[in-house]
Amino acid sequence: MDVRPNPSASGQRLGRYQLLGEIASGGMARVHVGRMLGKGGFQRTIAIKVLHRHLAQEPSFVAMFLDEARLAAQIHHPNVVQVLDVDALDGVLFLVMEFVEGVTLADLAAEAKRRGELLPIGLVGRALLDSLEGLHAAHELRDSHGQHLGLVHRDMSPQNILVGADGITRVTDFGVAKAAGRIATTGSKDIVKGKLRYLAPEQVSLEDLDRRADLFSTGIVLWEALTGSQLFGASSEAQALAMLLTCPIAPPSTVRPEVPLALDEVCMKALERQRSQRFSSAAEFGEALERAVGGGIFRPKDCAKYVRELSAARIQQVRERIGSSHSIEAPTEEEALREVFSPPEGNPVPEEPLSHDRPPAAALKPRPSTNGFGARRAVVMGLALASAVAGGSAAIAFRGSAKEAETPAEPRNPVHTTTTTASAVQGLEVTPLFTSGSNVAVVTPSEMTPTNASSSAQNQASSAIPNLGAPSGGPPKRPKTPPKVDGTKVMKF
Ligand SMILES: Nc1ncnc2c1ncn2[C@@H]1O[C@H](COP(=O)(O)OP(=O)(O)O)[C@@H](O)[C@H]1O
Ligand SMILES: [Mg+2]
């Protein structure tokens, strides 16, 4: 495991957030562990996802990023990573989340594999059950009028499932989630989003999606976590897609014989290519999973023990990173009270509204900023532009923008925005604490053979993969010897 301490990141600031080290970096953003600093010595460990600087100038990416914050912040569930804040400073756009001490399911499986082990079935059962409960909460999300948002995560994958050292598993990364009323134009028919290896067939064929697409993806996650193997491991994206559309799927027990028949059946039902044959909801999937794993399912404390043992080194390094940055000593009681009751001169605090009602316009006037206003205004203009592109009716309200005084079409989401000055940004060039590939695959149809050309995808599959046999139809048999799932070999992580 590549774990690099990152002393250079220590102490860097984004307003009232202190960056302590980078956890991951992907195509859209970097994720850091950090600390929220408040009055009177208040501190909280948080995770900060910072949109790459060049993308913060692109209205479509800004709108997507804000959508992620807006949607995820509305989901309140113990199995969904809580979004706490979103803000922009000097052209740096970032999202603040609860920090989950633990590892991704992908990391956990990789670590088990390094040790020549498979994840215990009881652990897989608990982690997936938690994930399905979190996913169900997301699928059930409604707006303040009780209207179902029809949210689809679209990127369920082991990298977006965080298994906590507290034994609780949480779903994260609603970066490409789609919901009715989403502002960013990510749902356009000519683009597919999500990690290629975990897409549902209907995502590839550009059909309208519903929650059942996430159930297929979670089925792949379950299959892989049980077997320690890739389901659609292929040497090219085209081959992976062809396999997704046509390759027979063998039950997990063909790779790991101890998987009980009932669990095989649950997994295979989730992996039905016809979505009408799948579970109808994540809750139903979860209930069936729980029954199938039976009494052997891990309790959260068993999960906690396993994660702490298997990922001890990684968890310890993050802890050290957080602990070694304890530069802020707790103030005395007198200092704390003085800080609370004496706002700094020249920075008057506007009266805050007591409820989530629309605040008085006066309180929303942009504050004078000592520097960096130009960059910030660029982001705000980007947002306005993105909003306009999307039709503009669902207003992106952005703190500091004069637009904010207008009545938004939608009620304000509970993403908490903070008041920070642009001058508080102190550089973001940091080296990683962890390196981990990230991940959102953005694939255009030309790269991936859509289904209205599915016959051509099948032809491609047939030529790329020998001995495919008939596409799967009836219930799976339980062969005694592991079949060649991809026609050549079972690919490993
Ligand atoms: N709240 C969090 N707590 C701890 N680690 C996190 C958190 N959010 C993300 N991560 C880590 O950062 C990685 C990337 O985060 P994610 O939101 O999935 O971004 P991306 O859009 O780049 O996939 C995750 O796979 C996980 O390792
Ligand atoms: Mg991710």
Q: How far is CA 427 from the centre of its chain?
A: 25
Residue nearest to atom 13 of ligand 1 (CA): 24
Report residue 205: phi and psi, to 5°: -90, 10
Ligand 2 centroid from CA 26, angstroms: 8
Q: Which atom of ligand 1 is nearest the CA belonging to 26? A: 22
Does residue 311's CB lie within 6 angstroms of at least one atom of ligand 1?
no
31 lines ligand 1 (CB under 6 A): yes
Ligand nearest to the CA of 48: 1
Rounded Cα–Cα distance for residues 300 and 492 (Å) = 28
CA of 434 to the centre of ligand 2 (A): 14
Q: Are 206 and 448 in contact (CB under 8 A)?
A: no
Which residues have a catalytic role annotated?
A: 155
Cβ of 99 less than 6 Å from ligand 1: yes
200, two tokens: 């549902």
Residues of the chain with pLDDT under 70: 1-11, 180-194, 324-331, 342-493
Q: Quick one: pLDDT at residue 446?
A: 34
What's the rounded Cα separation, in Å, for the pair 23 and 462?
41
- The number of the ligand nearest the C-alpha atom of 82 reads 1
Expressed in angstroms and rounded, the spacing between residue 198 Cα and the centre of ligand 2 is 12
User: Which ligand gives the minimal distance to the CA of 49?
Assistant: 1
Residue 477 backbone phi and psi in degrees, to 5: -85, 170
Tell how far the Cα of 177 is from the centroid of ligand 1, in angstroms: 15
Q: What per-residue confidence (pLDDT) applies to 79?
A: 98
> What pLDDT score was predicted for residue 219?
98
> Does the C-beta of 438 come closer than 6 Å to ligand 1?
yes
pLDDT at 206: 84
Q: How far is the CA of 159 from the centre of ligand 2 (A)?
A: 6
Q: For residue range 314-323, list pLDDT tens digits in order.
A: 899 888 888 7
Q: Is the C-beta atom of 153 inside 6 A of ligand 1?
A: no
Atom of ligand 1 lying closest to residue 175 CA: 21
How does pLDDT run across 207-244, given as a tens digit for each residue?
889 999 999 999 999 999 999 999 998 888 888 889 99
Asked if residue 155 has its Cβ within 6 Å of ligand 1, the reply is: no
pTM: 0.71
Cβ of 432 below 6 Å from ligand 1: no
Identify which of 185, 101, 179 has the alpha carbon closest to the alpha carbon of residue 143: 179
For residue 237, the model assigns a pLDDT of: 84
Domains and CATH numbers, the chain: 13-324 (1.10.510.10), 367-492 (no CATH)
pLDDT at 12: 84
Residue at 105: amino acid letter: L
